[in-house]
Amino acid sequence: MRKWMLMASATILFGVAVLAFVLFPRTSPEVTADQANETVISLYGGEVEQTTESGDAYRVEFNRPDGRYLALVNRQSGQVETMELLEKTEAAKEVTEQQAEEIALEQATGTIDSVAYNEERNEYDVKVKEETQLSTVVLSAATGEVRKISQEPVEPSAPVDEPVPEPEPEPDRVITRDEAIVLAQETLNGEAQEAEFVQTTDGGYYLVEIENDQTDQEATIQIHAIRGDTMSVEWDEDD
């Protein structure tokens, strides 16, 4: 009798455990905010400004040299669902190129050979050339402060009948459709279903649809047509 009662109790407990598993299945653990941040930065670079919860996603706002972006990261899968540009960063230039030339000529004797703007350092590199010496004056594009002056000797140029014209700067290069597909496949490795070019005032962009049959993933990826940046990623969650 006692053995029968023990067997009955064990059967009841097993049934309760099976019922609990069916009614309350275990869900996969959520990714943390730190994990969401790491995913975004590993894909797009930059620095995270803030991360907030919004429904089933994390809203990750992050800064890159070219602007401020917002990425939505799924809290269950950890995938980036969308990414969009919130604000484009303009170069912090207060000193014009002409003013930079005038400042450089106060520091070195000769004529202006070239002027280059370094966006990352927000500086001008002005080269002043005279007959036997080339001076490089580095100055702040924000304040005009001279930060560095260096000289190097140059050999006198041979006389020429006509001045050699300086080459014209190359125009902004628009990437091809195939290049846009390769860039999009860095986000989702798969087969390109479609790549559509959209013309805009800042150079246009491609909308590339990528499908991965092995992982059953689909995404529409927006690629800037000049810079090659990934502007946004939209994942297809129909399945």
Query: What confidence tens digit (pLDDT) does each residue in 64-85 have?
Result: 877 899 999 999 999 999 999 9
Paired residues of 194 in beta bridges: 209
Nearest Cα to Cα of residue 177 among 201, 207, 203: 207
pLDDT at position 223: 93
Q: Which two tokens stand for residue 22?
A: 């069916």
Can you tell me the mean pLDDT for 182-190? 90
User: Is 216 a residue whose pLDDT tops 50?
Assistant: yes
Per-residue confidence at 168, pLDDT binned at 50, 70, 90? low
What residue has token string 């986000």?
187
Q: Report whether pLDDT(3) > 90.
A: no
- Summarize the confidence of residues 19-26 as an average pLDDT: 48
Provide the percentage of residues in the chain whose pLDDT is more than 90.
49
Q: How far apart are CA 214 and CA 139, in angstroms?
A: 54
Closest CA to 138 of 153, 123, 118: 123
The confidence score (pLDDT) of residue 26 equals: 45
Give the dihedral of Cα atoms 70, 75, 80, 84; nearest 10 deg: -20
Q: Please report the pLDDT score of residue 22 as a whole number.
A: 46
Looking at every residue in the chain, the average pLDDT score rounds to 83
Report whether 207 contacts 220 (CB < 8 A): yes
pLDDT at residue 113 tops 90: yes
pLDDT at residue 56 greater than cutoff 80 = yes
Q: Considering only 17-21, 147-151, 212-216, 235-239, which range has the smallest mean pLDDT?
A: 17-21
Residue 25, pLDDT score: 47
Closest to 213 measured CA to CA, from 196, 180, 183, 188: 188
